[in-house]
Amino acid sequence: MKRIALILAGGYGARLWPLSTKKHPKQFGYFYGDGSMLTNTYSRLLKFFDKDDIYIVSQSFFYDKIIDQLPDIDIEHIILEPYVRSTAAALTYSNIKLRQKYTPDSVLFAFPSDQSISNMHEFQNSLDVAGEAANKLNSIITLGIIPTHPETQFGYIQIDERLFGNDDLYNKNVRSVMTFAEKPDAGTAVRFVAAGDFIWNSGIFVLQLQTLCDELQLYLPEHFIAFNNLAKHMGTPEFENQLDYTYKSITPISFDYGVLEKSTNVFCVQSNFDWSDYGTWDEVYRQSIKDTKDNFLSGEVITFDTKNCIVMSKDRLIATIGIKDLIVIESENATLVCKKGDSP
């Protein structure tokens, strides 16, 4: 089984402002340690995929940032979109590019670029099971995370615990998917976790290149037709103009809305690796290493009588006295101060 990793890194990053902005979205931001979210994702995938089979799809506007952060990457492994048209377009365009090199039964593993993952043994096991299921079932396979608490910042997947015809995959924690649920309110999140058949949606999914074609043809025929027409111009002088035309003509829609939530051909691997989606400052705080006063501090920061806070400085000294439960984020262009739980 040929395995391909695709990192989705083209979003504008409206969340985690002010460190994440339209010109410098969060996938290129440094929140922990020495690596950005993108470089951490790329380094993680090198443990499970050949370097020659790891690709990044992003906007052409971000090309210089990618090269700056990943100077050793082969530029042929950067798939550049002329405009943002959400994840359905990113995947459809990537599919026609990858099919120039790989056979239709090659398995594509699609990853967001802004997640934290640990417990690599469990992560590898989930990837292996998902790849096996994608081949045997000719289906879309998502990775779902068994929840540890009610969470309002993550989407959920409702799974069907009934047998589905493949005992071996069932015993490896593969389940058919009943529904996808958007981020719930607090009461609904409690009910989801108590029900036992709702798990967190990691946003990671796995499928054969041919399965991606089939699902797009069924549920997003506009994308399927437009990009198949584009594929006819690959390697010709007209390609760049046709690419521009294609992206201007299609309707922006996410792969989740356009395909996943409509398809009856989706399964889920129940997974136990440690996972987080960095969508809010509160989630950054939850995942961070804190000091003895339960503060997460980054940059040039001095604190006195400060508790349960996030304080991050990029360029200048921040001093805090007598505060608790606050978020203080300083960036080049703006400073955010708010209560935890109220961040944009």
- Digit-coded pLDDT (tens) for 162-216: 888 889 999 999 999 999 999 999 999 999 999 999 999 999 999 999 999 999 9
Rounded to the nearest 10 degrees, the angle between the axes of helix 239-249 and helix 221-231 is 170
Contacts of 18 (CB under 8 A, 6+ apart): 329, 331, 333, 334, 335, 336
Q: Give the Cα separation of 265 and 142 in Å (integer).
A: 11
Same domain, 204 and 311: no
Q: Is 239 buried (19+), middle (13-18) or exposed (0-12) by CB count in 10 A?
A: middle
The predicted structure's pLDDT at residue 31: 78
Same domain, 114 and 10: yes
The predicted structure's pLDDT at residue 46: 98
The predicted structure's pLDDT at residue 117: 93
- Which of 233, 264, 279 terminates a domain? The answer is 279
Residues making up the chain, counted from first to last: 344
Region 110-133: mean pLDDT is: 96
Same domain, 263 and 328: no
Task: Assign 304 to helix, strand or coil.
Answer: strand
- Digit-coded pLDDT (tens) for 302-324: 999 999 999 999 889 999 999 99
CATH number at 175 reads 3.90.550.10
Give me the sign of the Cα torsion angle 29, 30, 32, 38. Answer: positive
Task: Assign 303 to helix, strand or coil.
Answer: strand
Residue 288 resides in a domain: yes
Q: Give the Cα separation of 8 and 40 in Å (integer).
A: 13
Q: Give the Cα separation of 313 and 252 in Å (integer).
A: 35
Q: Is the peptide bond before 82 cis (omega within 30 degrees of 0)?
A: no
- Name the maximum alpha-carbon separation found in the chain: 65
Residue 286 resides in a domain: yes
Give me the sign of the Cα torsion angle 243, 263, 275, 340. Answer: positive
Same domain, 49 and 123: yes
**What's the domain range around 323?**
282-339
CA distance readout (Å), 114 to 25, 181, 235, 275: 10, 21, 33, 11
Same domain, 77 and 54: yes
Region 250-257: mean pLDDT is: 96
Task: Assign 56 to helix, strand or coil.
Answer: strand
- Which of 230, 252, 279 terminates a domain? The answer is 279
Same domain, 193 and 301: no
Q: Which residue has the higher pLDDT, 16 or 4?
A: 4
Q: Report the percentage of the chain scoring pLDDT > 90.
A: 85
The predicted structure's pLDDT at residue 163: 83
Residue 37 resides in a domain: yes
The predicted structure's pLDDT at residue 343: 79
Same domain, 297 and 275: no
Same domain, 21 and 144: yes
Residue 344 resides in a domain: no
The token pair at 28 is 């290129």
CA distance readout (Å), 36 to 115, 212, 344: 11, 29, 21
Residue 62 resides in a domain: yes
- Digit-coded pLDDT (tens) for 152-161: 889 999 999 8
Overall domain count for the chain = 2
Residue 36 resides in a domain: yes
The predicted structure's pLDDT at residue 98: 98
Tell me the pLDDT band of 1, cut-offs 50, 70 and 90: confident
Same domain, 119 and 214: yes
Token pair 């993108």: residue = 38
pTM comes to: 0.94
Tell me the pLDDT band of 33, cut-offs 50, 70 and 90: low
Region 126-143: mean pLDDT is: 98
The answer to whether 306 and 247 are in contact (CB under 8 A) is no
Same domain, 240 and 325: no
State the chain's mean pLDDT as an integer: 94
Same domain, 192 and 291: no
The token pair at 47 is 């443990």
Q: Give the Cα separation of 102 and 6 in Å (integer).
A: 13
Same domain, 235 and 331: no
The predicted structure's pLDDT at residue 164: 87
The predicted structure's pLDDT at residue 115: 92
